[in-house]
């Protein structure tokens, strides 16, 4: 396994950090069988990647072995997010047979956290992600990690997340407050549910903390898990 230095320059305040810790605790309470977790949203730019990165780092900081998988092989942002200047390989290259597993997973400077980058844009992302190779890979590495967090493209616009959901133990849904209608969110959730994936819950993101005192207490990134599951039953 190769080593790589990641540089996350975001500044996290107290409330943000506490919200991520609460999300981590709720993930842990989902059960021991929940290890491979998909994180998605309805639309781009809802803050999904920021949340999954912070969650991976938080889980690693308490001694959990974590693999963060960037499965957005259409438009990966992890190279720029972490200010990676060296050449790295990624998931699209592995799934297309260009590299082996030994060249895919990177050990990072964050405790207990490994990462898989998205790689170059693939001509048929859904086809690669739906191939048996990806399913087999996730099954085989499962025993090496406490959690595998998969950052996917938005389920509201692309089918990739629904494809990956078939291989996941659960899904966390990120929703930006004020940008996603109830009907759109419900439609996206139903698409995930059709895959047979368990909906663990939702994270309400980018809340207006000045107008909402409840969310001011918990910061910008938090909503108790199971909210989405409750709504889907309404």
At 105-132, the pLDDT tens digits run 999 999 999 999 999 988 888 889 998 9
Highest mean predicted confidence (pLDDT) among 45-54, 56-65, 151-160, 165-174: 56-65
Residues 6+ apart with CB under 8 A from 66: 56, 59, 60, 112, 113, 114, 145, 146, 147, 148, 149
The pTM (predicted TM-score) of the whole model is: 0.85
198-230 pLDDT per residue, tens:
989 888 776 655 555 444 443 333 343 434 333
Question: Given the DSSP bridges, would you call strands 147-151 and 199-205 parallel, antiparallel or unpaired?
Answer: unpaired
Q: Give me the pLDDT at residue 206, please.
A: 64
Q: Is the pLDDT of residue 137 over 50?
A: yes
Q: Compute the chain's Rg from CA coordinates.
A: 17
Helix pair 14-28, 48-61: axis angle to 10 deg: 70
Instruction: Report the chain's mean pLDDT, rounded to a whole number.
Output: 83
Task: Of 62-76, 144-158, 174-188, give the lowest mean pLDDT range.
Answer: 174-188
């Amino acid at each position: 396994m190769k080593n790589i230095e990641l540089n996350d320059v975001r500044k996290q305040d107290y409330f943000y950090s506490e919200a991520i810790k609460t999300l981590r605790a709720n993930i842990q309470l989902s059960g021991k069988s929940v290890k491979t977790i998909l994180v998605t949203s309805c639309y781009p730019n809802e803050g999904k990647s920021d949340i999954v990165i912070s969650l991976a780092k938080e889980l690693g900081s308490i001694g959990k072995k974590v693999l963060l998988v960037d499965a957005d092989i259409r438009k990966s942002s992890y190279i720029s997010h972490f200010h990676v200047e060296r050449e790295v390989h990624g998931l699209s290259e592995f799934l297309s047979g260009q590299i082996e597993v030994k060249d895919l997973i990177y050990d990072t400077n964050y405790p207990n956290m490994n990462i898989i980058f998205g790689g170059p844009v693939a001509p048929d992302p859904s086809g690669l992600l739906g191939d048996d190779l990806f399913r087999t890979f996730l099954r085989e590495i499962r025993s090496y990690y406490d959690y595998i967090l998969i950052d996917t493209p938005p389920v509201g616009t692309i089918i990739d997340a629904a494809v990956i959901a078939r291989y996941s133990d659960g899904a966390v849904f990120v929703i930006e407050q004020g940008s996603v209608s109830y009907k759109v969110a419900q439609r996206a959730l139903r698409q995930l549910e059709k895959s047979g994936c368990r909906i663990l819950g939702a994270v309400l993101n980018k809340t207006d903390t000045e107008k909402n005192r409840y969310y001011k207490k918990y910061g910008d990134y938090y909503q108790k898990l199971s909210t989405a599951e409750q709504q889907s039953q309404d």
